[in-house]
Amino acid sequence: QRLKTDLRAAVERGEISVAYQPMFKPDGSALECCEALARWTHPEKGAIAPDIFIQIAEEMGIVSDITRQVIEKACRDCVKWPEHITVSVNLSVQDLRNELIINTVKSVLAETGLASHRLHLEVTESSLIEELSTVRLILEQLRSYGITIAIDDFGTGFSSLSYLDTLPVDVVKIDRSFVRNICEDVRRLKLLRGIVTLSRGLNLQIVVEGVETREQLALLIKHNCADLIQGYVYSMPVAAESIAEISQLAS
Ligand code: G
Ligand code: G
Ligand code: MN
Ligand code: NA
């Protein structure tokens, strides 16, 4: 209860900050995109995990305020980065139920001057299942502005592949659970390769998340499983100010 009151106050004061986790070409030769990750530091309890405060915000019906703040900060930060770098923001399932998100995105792009092709939006696979017609309308509208749509946590949401094909989606981010045991368990590697083949068949760009070791990375490269890699093997989430330097080192 106390956490709710404090979160509301923090959101009203604009105190949600944003960290960025880079995505690289598999060989590490270029930093292409950064995922914006919301951060909240509670005055007494310290850092609260986003899983926790996003869920609280959803229960309180204020998650769209957080989304707006994160999109604003992400766009302001991205305009300062080298031009080839894009930024990817997570949407909550609640953002996809309300057409207001369309105006939010449009006005933030106008205010910040970020080219729309540099903004990506991530929606979890599980959030696509409800109110499909509203979701489709919102995603189509956003995509018509030139924004890229990614499905996050792909493979965990039990969505029907046939409607995945009909949704306006450009990128799949394969959930890190599919990477965890690929070096030890050949069946896990086969499963991952199957998902990759299927995604390529649907003309989707593939981001593999949660890559932690050099061995995993080598296997992913060997089997051509990824267009982009996101994971601790290359970088943890970092401050906006570090992105230009990390990008410089990669190139
Ligand atoms: O930051 P971390 O890597 O701990 O993220 C944990 C989870 O919180 C991830 O599933 C991520 O998608 C989610 N998350 C992080 N930032 C945001 C945000 O701004 N909005 C929403 N809806 N989810 C977020
Ligand atoms: O669910 P989503 O993909 O939006 O959230 C990204 C989350 O994954 C963040 O909490 C981020 O800190 C975490 N993460 C990023 N890279 C790795 C990794 O290599 N291993 C693990 N275990 N978590 C990671
Ligand atoms: Mn994400
Ligand atoms: Na994910």
Average pLDDT over all residues of the chain: 95
Average pLDDT over residues 137-151: 96
Which ipTM value was assigned to this complex? 0.96
| Global model pTM greater than 0.95 | yes
CA of 223 to the centre of ligand 3 (A): 24
Q: Hey, where are the domains in the chain? A: 2-250
The CATH number that domain 2-250 falls under is 3.20.20.450
Cβ atoms of residues 103 and 67 within 8 Å: no
* Residue 213 CB-half CA count within 13 A: 9
Neighbours of ion ligand 4 (CB under 5 A): 152-153, 209
**Which pLDDT belongs to residue 159?**
65
Does residue 90 have its Cβ closer than 6 Å to ligand 1? yes
Cα–Cα distances in angstroms (integers) from residue 152 to residues 88, 120, 134, 141, 200, in the given order: 11, 11, 19, 19, 16
CA of 107 to the centre of ligand 3 (A): 22
> Which pLDDT band holds residue 130 (cuts at 50, 70, 90)?
confident
Average pLDDT over residues 34-40: 98
Does residue 37 have its Cβ closer than 6 Å to ligand 1? yes
> Which pLDDT band holds residue 157 (cuts at 50, 70, 90)?
confident
- The whole-angstrom separation of Cα 88 and Cα 73 is 12
Cβ atoms of residues 131 and 94 within 8 Å: no
Instruction: State yes or no: pLDDT of 126 exceeds 90.
Output: no
> Which pLDDT band holds residue 158 (cuts at 50, 70, 90)?
low
